[in-house]
Structure 1
Amino acid sequence: MDKTEFYEDASAAVEDCRPMEGVFHSHLDDRVRPYIDLIDSLRMIGIEKDLALPTIAVIGDQSSGKSSVLEALSGVALPRGSGIVTRCPLALKMRKLRGGIQWKAIISYKDELIEFDDPSLVEEYVADAQDKLAGAGVGICDELISLEISSPDVCDLTLIDLPGIARVPVKGQPDDIGDQIKTLLLNFIQKSETIILVVVPCNVDIATTEALKMAQEADPEGKRTLAILTKPDLVDKGTEKNILEIVRNQVIPLSKGYIIVKCRGQKQIDDKISLSDATRAEKDFFRRHEYFSGLLHEEKASTECLATKLTQDLVDHIKKSLPLISEQITKQLWDTRKMLSLIPSGPPLDPHQRKMYFIDTLTEFNDKINRLSNGEVVIQENLFILLRSDFQKWKDHLDGTKERFHETVHEVVKEYDRKHRRRELPGFSNYSVFEMVVQKLVVELTGPAIDTMKSIRDTVQKQFIDVAKTCFMNYPYLQCVSSNKIDNIQSTQEALVEERIMEQFEMEQLVYTQDSIYYKTLKDTANQEASEDNCGEFGSRSNYPDMLKAYYEIVVQRLADQVPMLIRFFLLKQSGRMLCREMLNLMDGSNVNEILREESDLSRKRIEMQNRLERLTLAQKKFSSFF
């Protein structure tokens, strides 16, 4: 049988399903029930997260009789009371059993699933579920509760019961409870796939009810709206004809029309009148009513007529929606596979492969650290450009001290000549005096050298951490561990570099250089002095001891290279090696699952896409098997 024949047979079966005297719910032909089962199975796998499904959503003002209607259809008592009783959306799935199978039910929400076979427990289980999802009290929640009832006395039908519309908050409710409920209801009834079942009491002005106003807002043309009139026994005398006009679609026209029902009232509940007895009493009420009896023959009155009408509308709606749903699933499957292919894959589930993945991840990190240390890789900013910038500042500072050195020497020479000079000629001052000057000025360079080292430490540490963030983007544990190791290693190496720098400056107190280096620098200095004198610069300083100037040039050059080399070796080269060794140690006896635990937007996106792919794939299989 092809799809067209299937649709036609299903429609014919629903048309033949008429209420019969003495039978509360007529069962559907086996060719029709698969439609409802298909949609419910799609809802069970969570496909509504991806696309809207055909459904019937029940809305009504508080105390409109909504719970009584659902009780009449399902055959079980639901939570009752004043104020907001339905605090979470309730998917009420009714399954007609055949072959003498007894009543059973399943209630599920979040990770809870409870099976039971006592109808009297329904109210308690639903109330408990609402308390767990929405909290004890009068708050609401958009989490769905699923209640599946299988019984010989119900029809094949699924409804979504929504919270009653509230106008004024009661004690314990937030001031915006009305807006919260309206938002929740509109999320369901605005979808074109939803049939809106509006419950309205007969004893109020139908045009002023919030439920019908909201339905008209979501469905302006009234094509998806079916109204149920309740409490016909409370109609004021003389207004019966007005009710007839409403039911016959002459007041506020709706494409799906109106059904009038009489469910159990509070007195019947108090008198413990059963639902089956209430159903028979309902039939008698309409059959004997002076004005409403004709509605029975028009199939616009009684719960039985409502059940058949709802089932027919739902199956027709499903039938029209299936081709579009199938098309949407196929398209979203393609889109999801494409998006998933663009997201980097995560760690494998197989333990051995997962460990290999972990080793590869650490190897990639270590490789980047080594290449970064050697200047072969750039992370955001070129590390060696940043280092050269700091090292150049250090060199510029050293060069800037030359003038002060020369001035200090000049002052010392003048002071020596004035106080201590004996028979020696000018310029032949005591060597120890000049040695003291060199030592004093070199010591003053210690602070700037340490500052340079600290600046480089911050730069290198930031780049190392950037590598960790890149390689361990999805793994917070590895990010945390590597960041701690980087900080600890850098702190240790910083102390070591500082010690080496201080040693270097202590060695500079020796005032030493190779004679050949000294003579060459002295010659260069003398030539420069001569050139500057010819240019008219520094002429007044031509009597400076050239040998001291030459020696300080050597000191500057030595420190300009040695301090950066110490910093680069200990804070970059050696730190990188130590970090790589420390990270490799993680492979010894570590919990790989904990280490590779993902908590990032990217990993959440990948998991979301994988779950979506599973839902859509399963939905596509269900469609394939359905036809």
Structure 2
Amino acid sequence: MEKNLKKSNSESNDDVPPSTHPSFFIGSSVIPIINKLQDIFAPLGDIDDRLTGLRLPQVAVIGSQSSGKSSVLEALVGRDFLPRGSDICTRRPLVLQLEKRSAGIGNDSLEWGEFAHLPEKRFYDFSAIRREILAETEKEVGVNKGVSDKQIRLKICSPNVLNITLVDLPGITKVPVGDQPSDIEARIRNMIMSYIKQENSIILAVSPANADLANSDALQMAKQVDPTGTRTIGVITKLDIMDKGTNARNFLLGKVIPLRLGYIGVVNRSQEDINNNRPIREALAYEEQFFRDYHVYRGLSDRCGIPQLAKKLNQILEQHIRNVLPTLKTDLTSHLVAVEKELRAYGEALESKGERGAMLLNILTKYSEAFSSEVDGKSQAMTTKELSGGARIHHIFQSIFVKSLEEQIFVPQLVSCCF
């Protein structure tokens, strides 16, 4: 693990000055390191929990069903790739690693995605990515509306994204549908809590502007684990469909529910836009024009729009990683030393089958000899305070077992005499 850290650092510090390096982007120096660690830890389960009790730094995306989470994530990527529908769509946590890369030649100039469960296979068709997410979800939880906490890991490389690691979590729902259990709301909340309670997680709380922000499920859950708002970013969606005469200016300024990291307002594609396959590029242009024309939001350019959200997430995640990386490296090193010590206790590594067979035979022989010594009363570990070994076995058969047999024989005889 430490070698991977050193390798990643060396790869990002070659002879080309960082400011002119073709792969230099905001957050490119540390976020890929965490992504590599996540890829290493993923097959091992919660090994990071055993290290520090904390998850690796990432952005947990939470919100109620139909709050606009999927639209926000697709806008950050610039492509349609998430399952859609009127019911719950995200039924397994989706770990989404966005990796900015320079445009190349031929296929290398295209955007592509890669799943952790399908390594070496690149998806250039984002509709195929959506189908694969659906297939993996149904493989785990069935074709109905069940949910699971087993992750799907997806990396998307593109020249149009910034380096960000996000976890799209199931939307908070109230009423069970399909084959969902009656306690589906509690299960989803517990799943969300398992991510956002970790101090290394940045919380992206998504709330629709056409609902009362004070009743936002996402903000309420975030406040439970982050009461001071130091690691929560608020996203207010659907600003263009607010009731006439209302606006979200005070929300964006943090005057209603303050958050240290602030709020970003965005405009989502409507369901009609999605049904008509309106390109995200056009939707982003519409969003930019909306904020330019709506005088209420003038002067809040740093708090409005998907591009500002991407930049803010990237910068906050990078700084957060830089803050926790020294502690994380220390924990990894100490854990590595402990594992190496335990490994050495098992003896030298054996390469050939013959060596492994000889070692196994030696272990079995030592066990057989130790067992025989225990039975014969020759073991040095035997105590003089009580019977042990063969003497204990003799006592059991001659006293305890015989007495039990006599009791079993005596009872039927007594019963027959009475009658």
TM range (shorter): 0.7 to 0.9
Q: Which residue of 1 aligns with 2:32?
A: 37
Q: Is the 8 A contact 1:59 1:164 kept in 2?
A: yes
Amino acid at match of 1:91: V
Could you tell me which of 156, 159, 165 is aligned with 1:158?
Answer: 165
Q: Which amino acid in the other structure matches residue 93 of structure 1?
A: Q
1:233 to 228, 233, 240: 240
Tell me the TM-score normalised to structure 1 length: 0.55
Describe how 1:272-283 pairs up with structure 2 within 5 A.
272-283=277-288
Task: Decide which of 345, 350, 353 is 1:351's aligned counterpart.
Answer: 353
1:256-310 alpha-carbon deviations (Å, 9 max, x no partner)? 10100012111111222101111111111111123224322xx111111111111
SS of the aligned residue for 1:223 comes to coil
Alignment partner of 1:107 is 2:109: no
**Partners in 2 of 1:191 and 1:282 — Cα distance?**
33
Q: Contact 1:76–1:122 (CA<8 Å) still a contact in 2? A: no
TM superposition shift of 1:108? 2.0
Aligned-partner SS, 2:289: helix
Q: Is the alpha carbon distance of 1:267 and 1:30 closer, same or farther for their aligned partners in structure 2, counting shifts above 3 Å?
A: closer
Q: Per-residue displacement from partner, 1:486-535 (whole Å, max 9, x unpaired)?
A: xxxxxxxxxxxxxxxxxxxxxxxxxxxxxxxxxxxxxxxxxxxxxxxxxx
Q: What secondary structure, in the 3-state scheme, does the structure 2 residue paired with 1:197 have? A: strand
Alignment of structure 1 residues 354-393 onto 2, 5 Å = 354-368=356-370, 370-371=372-373, 374-377=376-379, 381-384=388-391, 386-387=393-394
Other-structure match for 2:175: 168
Q: 2:332 matched to which residue of 1? A: 329
Q: Compared with structure 1, are the counterparts of its residues 338 and 302 closer, same or farther at alpha carbon in structure 2 (3 Å cutoff)?
A: same
Q: 1:117 to 1:250 in 2, by over 3 A?
A: same
Structure of larger gyration radius: 1
Report the identity percentage: 34
After TM superposition, give the deviation of residue 337 of structure 1 in Å.
4.2
Provide closer, same or farther for how the CA distance between residues 265 and 372 of structure 1 changes in structure 2, counting only shifts above 3 A.
same
Report the AA paired with residue 36 of structure 1. I
Residue 140 (structure 1) aligns with: 147
Deviations along 1:455-497, one digit per CA (max 9) or x if unpaired, are 9xxxxxxxxxxxxxxxxxxxxxxxxxxxxxxxxxxxxxxxxxx
- How far apart are the structure 2 equivalents of 1:346 and 1:180? 46
Match of 2:44 in 1: none
- Cα offsets for 1:29-69 (capped at 9, x unmatched): 44730211011011111063534211111000000000000
Could you list the per-position Cα deviations for residues 105-149 of structure 1 after superposition, in whole angstroms to 9, with x for gaps in the alignment?
10124x777422112212111111212233332111111211111
Moved more, 310-319 or 326-335: 326-335
1:211 aligns with 2:213: no
User: Which residue of 87, 90, 99 maps to 1:86?
Assistant: 90
Listed as ranges, the matches of 1:262-277 within 5 Å are: 262-277=267-282
**C-alpha distance in structure 2 between counterparts of 1:96 and 1:191, whole Å:** 26
Q: Structure 1 residues 136 and 99 mapped into 2: Cα distance closer, same or farther (>3 Å)? A: same
Instruction: In structure 1, give the amino acid aligned to 2:255.
Output: Q
SS at match of 1:226: strand
> Would the alpha carbon gap of residues 185 and 369 (structure 1) be closer, same or farther in structure 2, given more than 3 Å must change?
closer
Alignment of 1:344-493 (within 5 A): 348=350, 350-368=352-370, 370-371=372-373, 374-377=376-379, 381-384=388-391, 386-387=393-394
User: Residue type of the partner of 2:126?
Assistant: P
Distance 1:357 1:159 in 2: 47
Gaps of 5+ in 2: 1-8, 14-18, 42-46, 406-419
- Within a 5 Å distance, the mapping from 1:520-531 to structure 2 comes to none
Aligned Cα root-mean-square deviation (Å): 3.1
Unaligned runs of 5+ in 1: 1-5, 11-15, 17-26, 394-450, 456-627
Query: Structure 1 residue 307 and structure 2 residue 300: aligned?
Result: no
- 1:188 is aligned to 2:192: no
- Residues 381-437 of structure 1: per-residue CA shift (max 9 Å, x gap): 33135436866x7xxxxxxxxxxxxxxxxxxxxxxxxxxxxxxxxxxxxxxxxxxxx
The 8 Å contact of residues 165 and 178 in structure 1, kept in 2 or not, is answered as yes
Would you say the 8 A contact 2:31–2:163 is kept in 1? yes
Query: Are 1:28 and 1:156, in contact at CA under 8 Å, matched by a contact in 2?
Result: no
Contact kept? 1:35, 1:315, Cα under 8 Å: yes
Cα distance in 1 between the residues matched to 2:392 and 2:61: 68
1:181 is displaced (CA, Å) by 0.7
Q: Tell me the distance in 2 between the aligned counterparts of 1:169 and 1:112.
A: 35
The answer on whether the counterparts of 2:67 and 2:206 sit within 8 Å (CA) in structure 1 is yes
CA distance in 2, matches of 1:295, 1:107: 37
Greater relative CO (CA pairs within 8 A, separation 6+):
2
- Report the number of matched residues: 370
Asked if the contact 2:27/2:163 (under 8 Å) is kept, the reply is no
Q: Structure 2: how far apart are the matches of 1:139 and 1:102?
A: 35
The structure whose residues are more often helix, as a share, is 1
**Aligned: 1:244 with 2:244:** no
Provide closer, same or farther for how the CA distance between residues 39 and 271 of structure 1 changes in structure 2, counting only shifts above 3 A.
Answer: same
Cα gap change, 1:340/1:279 in structure 2, threshold over 3 Å: closer, same or farther? Answer: same
Residue 318 (str. 1) matches residue 325 (str. 2):
no
Q: CA deviation at 1:376?
A: 2.6
Q: 1:308 to 1:368 in 2, by over 3 A?
A: closer
